[in-house]
Structure 1
Amino acid sequence: MKAWLVTNEFLNSQKYSELNMWLVNAAKKYDVELLVKTNAELLVDLTSGNGIEAKREKEQPQFVLFWDKDIRLASYLESLSLPVYNSAKAIEICDNKAMTHIALNQKHIRMPQTILAPMTYPNIGYTNYDFVDKMVEQLRFPMVVKECFGSFGQQVYLVHNYPDLLDCLNRIGTKPFLVQEYIKSSFARDIRLNVVGDQVVATMYRYSDTGDFRANISNGGKMRRYEPTPIQIETAIACVKALGLDFAGVDLLFDENEEPIVCEVNSNAHFKNIQDCTGVNVADQIIQYIVKKQSCL
């Protein structure tokens, strides 16, 4: 079986190369020749037959493991009737935190109280901040401000008062953002559950002792093994189904009774840390799942 692993041409650090090789090596265990293709290499040419379509005829990938967020390319590959994991739509929703929370809200999945900021245009900006007063009235301080696009806990801010909030919004500028209720009971701690299909295959508890309210490992957090509760497992799987994903990393917060609240969902969750923590090779789980699903097509 031949397949493509689509990555981003411009994310070429050792961290990303190592992750790619884990997926390639995992594929070999299931007799899958997983060829790495970058989004620049698979240049979409909509005006000729000399681009991806011609390559497809030569290489005949039976599926595409899409490890990037170039949804235009993912959509084009789907238009060629290639099975793409995760789908372009699912990646697009997960990449935008506002769209993620809209989808979760439709399925009544518990998350922090969330208010989406109104859109403005780059050449106009926000000509008034009247809507900010309504946000503050609803959520009170402290509150969490999140840019809609961001990874590894970046572009996420905890603000304690009105001047801090305005300063934060000035730095964000015209980029889309949302504000959320601050879950004090989950300060500097959360759990990451890696879901593949309808199973949680690995879980780790993340915590920080640096004073940072975020628990992300990339921000200096630490990790340890964790046995998720039935409700945490149920919530993580429900998120994956609600977003139309085949696999994902689901981050859950703790309420005052240690019950789960969804923080966010990552369609292309990195799995080095969780493998170091749990010994579970999520790459193996993903490839095994796709091969099984392909056999049913």
Structure 2
Amino acid sequence: MSRQGWIVYNGNLNAEKFLYQVRWLERTGKELGFDMRSIKNNELIASIIDGVSVIKGKYEGSRPDFVFFWDKDIRLARHLEKMGFKLYNSASTIEICDDKSLTYQMLADHHIRMPRTLITPKVFDNCQIIDFSPYEYVVDELNFPLVIKEVFGSFGSQVYLIHNKEEMMSKIVELGSKPYVFQEFIETSFGRDIRLNVVGDRVAASMFRKSENDFRANVTAGGKMYNYTPTDSEVELAVRCSKLVGADFSGVDLLFGKDDEPVLCEINSNAHFKNIFDCTGIDVAKSMMQYIKDELDGIKHV
């Protein structure tokens, strides 16, 4: 009997760029012999009945051999793990990577080169900031220009380059209770970065991204993609960061520091793989599914 795998994705994300990759994952899993099912997160009703964690709804009583958790529904991921389901990636990894402030905290004290980062104090909803004096420390530590980065965001759209104090105060008021961090601006990496897709202990694919008119190199922000062979130090940093957050697979973004020293930008637990396939011809979906198959078969990669 073939092993059954679920691909759990968000039932409210109907954009073709998301659904296309769900179908890709399902097809790849079937090619490797898995009985694959793509399931919306809202089809799995996390329930606690008589003090016991169960799933209600269409898939009540089902128990797949693994779950490829292609979503950021942390509560559902934790619920499935409590029920004994094996998730790729784990709920903990997804939570750490989804919240950029948690990512930097997890990597801190491990001698990881990353931008100087200041995490903002919590502001409750419906509250106004009445004391702006703590933000003076931001200017003293980082100077201008600096980067404000919302902790929840994708494709670079919630990252802002701030040039002066007036811009900074305006953005602080605009963001209100949204959590974000202040970061050192790595000027040597203006408009360019590297995406490395890590699977297990290796880099499965990598690409160089460059923008001619934006400090962000994200393709969604207008960056162009180029095939890229990473250096040993870039590979080592990407794999180490991925392992530190507990990822089975991830998309690690690196910046170029002084003398092109690799600098950690962020880690994506649900990294898209279509763009890197279009750029390099390497099918990261196949690498991820093969990783799962090997692990279920007890095959260890060195």
- TM-score class, shorter-chain normalisation, is over 0.9
Q: Which amino acid aligns with 1:226?
A: Y
Tell me whether 194-203 or 24-33 shows the greater mean CA deviation: 24-33
User: Which residue of structure 2 lines up, in the alignment, with residue 117 of structure 1?
Assistant: 120
Asked if 1:267 is matched to 2:269, the reply is: yes
Q: What's the CA shift string for 1:228-287, capped at 9, x where partnerless? A: 000000000011111011000000000120110000000000011000000001100000
Tell me whether 91-100 or 26-35 shows the greater mean CA deviation: 26-35
**Selected match of 1:204 from 207, 226, 229:** 207
Name the SS of the counterpart of 1:106 in structure 2. coil
Residue 57 of structure 1, CA deviation: 7.0
- Unmatched 5+ residue regions in structure 2? none
Asked if 1:156 is matched to 2:182, the reply is: no
**Selected match of 1:137 from 132, 136, 140:** 140
Distance 1:7 1:208 in 2: 30
Assess if the C-alpha contact under 8 Å between 1:53 and 1:80 holds in 2. Answer: no
**Selected match of 1:213 from 212, 215, 228:** 215
Q: What's the CA shift string for 1:43-101, capped at 9, x where partnerless? A: 11223689627876754300000000001000000011110110001100100000000
Residue 120 of structure 1, CA deviation: 1.6
Residue 294 of structure 1, CA deviation: 1.5
Q: Which amino acid aligns with 1:21?
A: R
Residue 29 of structure 1, CA deviation: 1.6
User: Which residue of structure 2 lines up, in the alignment, with residue 46 of structure 1?
Assistant: 48
Tell me whether 43-52 or 266-275 shows the greater mean CA deviation: 43-52
User: Which residue of structure 1 lines up, in the alignment, with residue 8 of structure 2?
Assistant: 6
Distance 1:57 1:120 in 2: 39
Q: Which amino acid aligns with 2:188?
A: S
Q: What's the CA shift string for 1:173-198, capped at 9, x where partnerless? A: 11111100000000000000000000
Name the SS of the counterpart of 2:47 in structure 1. coil
Name the SS of the counterpart of 1:235 in structure 2. helix
Asked if 1:182 is matched to 2:185, the reply is: yes
Q: What's the CA shift string for 1:187-217, capped at 9, x where partnerless? A: 00000000000010000000001x2100000
Distance 2:69 2:128 in 1: 34
Residue 145 of structure 1, CA deviation: 0.4
User: Which residue of structure 2 lines up, in the alignment, with residue 85 of structure 1?
Assistant: 88
TM-score, with normalisation over the residues of structure 1? 0.96
Q: What's the CA shift string for 1:131-151, capped at 9, x where partnerless? A: 111110000000000011100
Distance 2:266 2:42 in 1: 29
**Selected match of 2:233 from 231, 234, 249:** 231
Q: How many residues align?
A: 296
Residue 125 of structure 1, CA deviation: 2.9
Name the SS of the counterpart of 1:18 in structure 2. helix
Q: Which amino acid aligns with 2:248?
A: D
Distance 1:159 1:246 in 2: 35
User: Which residue of structure 1 lines up, in the alignment, with residue 197 of structure 2?
Assistant: 194
Distance 1:47 1:57 in 2: 12
Name the SS of the counterpart of 2:259 in structure 1. coil
Assess if the C-alpha contact under 8 Å between 1:42 and 1:51 holds in 2. Answer: no
User: Which residue of structure 2 lines up, in the alignment, with residue 61 of structure 1?
Assistant: 64
Assess if the C-alpha contact under 8 Å between 2:147 and 2:183 holds in 1. Answer: yes
Structure 1 residue runs of 4 or more that deviate by more than 6 Å after TM superposition: 53-57
Distance 1:146 1:60 in 2: 39
Name the SS of the counterpart of 1:152 in structure 2. coil
Aligned-pair identity in percent equals 46
- Unmatched 5+ residue regions in structure 1? none
Distance 1:161 1:198 in 2: 42
Report the CA distance shift for 1:170/1:32 in structure 2 as closer, same or farther (over 3 A). Answer: same
